[in-house]
Amino acid sequence: MKLVVEAVLPLFALILAGYVCGWRGLFGPGATSALNLFVVWLALPALLFQALAEARWSELDQPGFVAAIALGMLATFVPWVALARGSSEPFEGSERARKTLPDASIEALAASYPNTGFMGIPLCLAVFGRAGLQPAIIATILTACLLFGLSLALIEIGLQPGRATGGAIAKAAVTLARNPLLVAPALGALFAIAHIPRPAPLTRFLSLLGGAASPCALVTIGLFLAQNRGVGDDGRSGAHHQTRVDVARILAIVALKMLVQPLVTGVLVFAVFDLPRPWSTAALLLSALPIGTGPFMLAKLYDREAAVTSRAILLSTIVSLVTTSLLVAWIARG
């Protein structure tokens, strides 16, 4: 219980602080985007770079962890795409058919997208110390690369059905190559492999910048939840009331993310791959995190329906206060 109070509650307190500030409008309408950009382009890349630059390959050589995290994500992503596609009108060239795959991909992303970057890194640091940073970073890279890459490719294929699949994959690869959350750890790994020395001023700069990643990321989550708490069915505040079907979709997405994904991952890490601690418990904790903001951002980027994803993010974050606390208490007893 002490670990829950000391590690989990401060993190949710930061999320609550951001929510209250967003609800009261203290930072202005552009605060969420500005703080999100700061975390994504500066603070979190600095933390990821430094962690990989200081790591040794023997510490990162955990193929069972990578497989468990990846398969846990795919176990909820793939079935949702198949389910959503199967429930639509099967007219191959119709407008509805062209829209189904992008929408299904975004909802599948929500059903499989753990908030490893903004929430997982500070949580693993609080629970496991520096030993928890590397599992969280690997999970963040898998989330940003595997899930985002797959979703981007499916969205491009769905929006342009006449376009070659290779072109959609290439466009998704170019988008990922520009992602600072992938570039920064790749550069850090290069520094580690090549044994490139880092000057003391650079190390201090990265430490100061990376130290801002966790609190700013958690406050950003709260601001995001406050800003999008009233998003309607058309993606705009106060639009239409949520339909019964949409509520069922939201509950199904949250159940897949918060129950099925950690269950699959837990079976893999404890019964199949038999990972050492803290890699096994970190994998379970990371897979049980609430939905990150990525699916909503992707929906807005492609001008798709955003109400389901935004409300699934909010509900999963509320649920995670209980589930995360229980998991951390179990880890502490173990």
CATH code at position 281: 1.20.1530.20
Give the pLDDT score at 325.
93
Residue 200 burial (C-beta neighbours within 10 Å; 0-12, 13-18, 19+):
exposed
Give the pLDDT score at 237.
45
pLDDT at 233 exceeding the cut of 90: no
Give the pLDDT score at 270.
93
- Mean pLDDT over 113-134 rounds to 91
pLDDT at 99 exceeding the cut of 60: no
Q: Is the peptide bond before 122 cis (omega within 30 degrees of 0)?
A: no
Assign 3-state DSSP to the chain and report helix, strand, coil percentages, each to 5: 80, 0, 20
- Which domain covers residue 309, as residue numbers? 2-333
Give the pLDDT score at 241.
47
The structure tokens listed for 135 are 């599992």
pTM as predicted: 0.83
- Mean pLDDT over 307-317 rounds to 91
**Segment 193-219, tens digit of pLDDT:** 888 899 999 999 999 999 998 899 899
Of 132 and 88, the one with more pLDDT: 132
Q: What is the tally of helices (H) and strands (E) in the chain?
A: 19, 0
Q: Is 231 helix (H, G, I), strand (E, B) or coil?
A: strand
| pLDDT level of residue 303 (50, 70, 90 thresholds) | confident
Residue type, 182: L
| pLDDT level of residue 15 (50, 70, 90 thresholds) | very high
In DSSP terms, 231 is beta-bridged to 237
Phi, psi (5° rounding) for residue 114?
Answer: -75, 145
- 294 touches 241 (CB < 8 A): no
pLDDT at 90 exceeding the cut of 90: no
Q: How far apart are CA 212 and CA 111, in angstroms?
A: 29
% residues pLDDT > 70 (the chain): 88
| pLDDT level of residue 89 (50, 70, 90 thresholds) | very low
Q: Which residue has the tokens 């699949």?
A: 165
Q: How many structural domains compose the chain?
A: 1
